[in-house]
């Protein structure tokens, strides 16, 4: 591993909370009488809560005030957090845990770079906080991906430069954010097919093969 640090997106990389996000947004959309399906949900990948809400409201015939939108976003988050209470260490695969352990054993610094404000809760429920030297998330940024702020702060927290870190992302917007911040990037899942990524991972453990 030529990188001194690796910065991971959380959802879709370390763990998968898509089903909880979908259920929460669907509950809100149904209440508001707005059409919402999994195809629309796919557009929310790697996008902030408020930006996600705007995408959902595209299907609405009503115009909502900023105050109403903030209430909707909070309502969705409350539902989502209730669903996250179901998470446990079993939500993290052995492959992920073993890979993180091996990276730490190689002396590589590890960080989370996620737009989610629920990052601390997820790390706590899955018992994965111990793997990471730093966490940059929705609680300390003002701009969402594809802005590189979350990754730049993660690198800063690690005491490293962008050039010394590799960003692991499953979303195109996350790869764009990494590129914008001057990072090398590795795409996994949907982003493994993104031509802007420097590395294309078939599995999480493939990170160990990056030279």
Q: Please say if 18 is a catalytic residue.
A: no
Asked if pLDDT for residue 23 goes beyond 80, the answer is yes
Clarify whether residues 97 and 183 are in a common domain.
Answer: yes
Clarify whether residues 103 and 166 are in a common domain.
Answer: yes
Split at pLDDT 50, 70, 90, the class of 24 is: very high
Clarify whether residues 102 and 160 are in a common domain.
Answer: yes
Split at pLDDT 50, 70, 90, the class of 162 is: very high
- Among the three residues 69, 84, 99, which one is the final residue of a domain in this structure? 84
- Active-site residue identified among 11, 137, 147, 170: 11
pTM value? 0.83
| Domain at 103, CATH number | 3.40.50.1000
- Among the three residues 46, 61, 84, which one is the final residue of a domain in this structure? 84
Clarify whether residues 103 and 199 are in a common domain.
Answer: yes
Clarify whether residues 36 and 79 are in a common domain.
Answer: yes
What does pLDDT average to over the chain? 94
Asked if pLDDT for residue 43 goes beyond 80, the answer is yes
- Active-site residue identified among 9, 91, 137, 176: 9
- Among the three residues 84, 108, 138, which one is the final residue of a domain in this structure? 84
Q: Please say if 37 is a catalytic residue.
A: no
Clarify whether residues 79 and 100 are in a common domain.
Answer: no
Q: Which residue has the higher pLDDT, 38 or 95?
A: 95
Structural domains counted in the chain? 2
**Residue span of the structural domain in which 151 resides:** 5-16+91-209
Split at pLDDT 50, 70, 90, the class of 144 is: confident
The three-state DSSP-derived secondary structure of the chain is CCCCEEEECCECCCECCHHHHHHHHHHHHHHHCCCCCHHHHHCCCCCCHHHHHHHHHCCCCCCCCHHHHHHHHHHHHHHHHHHHCCCCHHHCCHHHHHHHHHHHHCCCEEEEECCCCCHHHHHHHHCCHHHCCEEECCCCCCCCCCCCHHHHHHHHHHCCCHHHEEEEECCHHHHHHHHHCCCEEEECHHHHHCCCCCEECCCHHHHHHCC
| Domain at 49, CATH number | 1.10.150.240
Q: Which residue has the higher pLDDT, 116 or 131?
A: 131
Clarify whether residues 151 and 95 are in a common domain.
Answer: yes
């Amino acid at each position: 591993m030529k990188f001194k640090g690796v910065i991971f997106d959380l959802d879709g990389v370390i763990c998968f909370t898509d089903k909880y996000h979908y259920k929460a947004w669907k509950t809100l959309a149904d209440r508001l009488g707005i059409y919402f399906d999994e195809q629309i949900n796919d557009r929310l990948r790697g996008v902030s809560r408020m930006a996600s809400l705007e995408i959902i409201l595209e299907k609405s015939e009503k115009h909502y005030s900023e105050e109403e939108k903030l209430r909707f976003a909070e309502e969705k988050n409350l539902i989502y957090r209730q669903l996250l209470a179901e998470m446990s260490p079993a939500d993290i695969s052995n492959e992920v845990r073993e890979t993180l352990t091996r990276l730490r054993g190689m002396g590589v610094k590890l960080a989370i770079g996620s737009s989610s404000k629920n990052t601390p809760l997820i790390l706590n429920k899955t018992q994965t906080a111990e793997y990471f030297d730093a966490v940059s998330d929705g609680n300390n940024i003002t701009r969402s991906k594809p802005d590189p702020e979350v990754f730049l702060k993660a690198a800063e927290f690690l005491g490293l430069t962008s050039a010394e870190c590799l960003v692991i992302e499953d979303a195109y917007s996350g790869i764009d954010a990494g590129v914008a911040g001057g990072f090398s990037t590795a795409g996994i899942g949907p982003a493994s097919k993104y031509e802007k990524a420097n590395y294309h991972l078939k599995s999480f453990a493939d990170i160990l093969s990056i030279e």
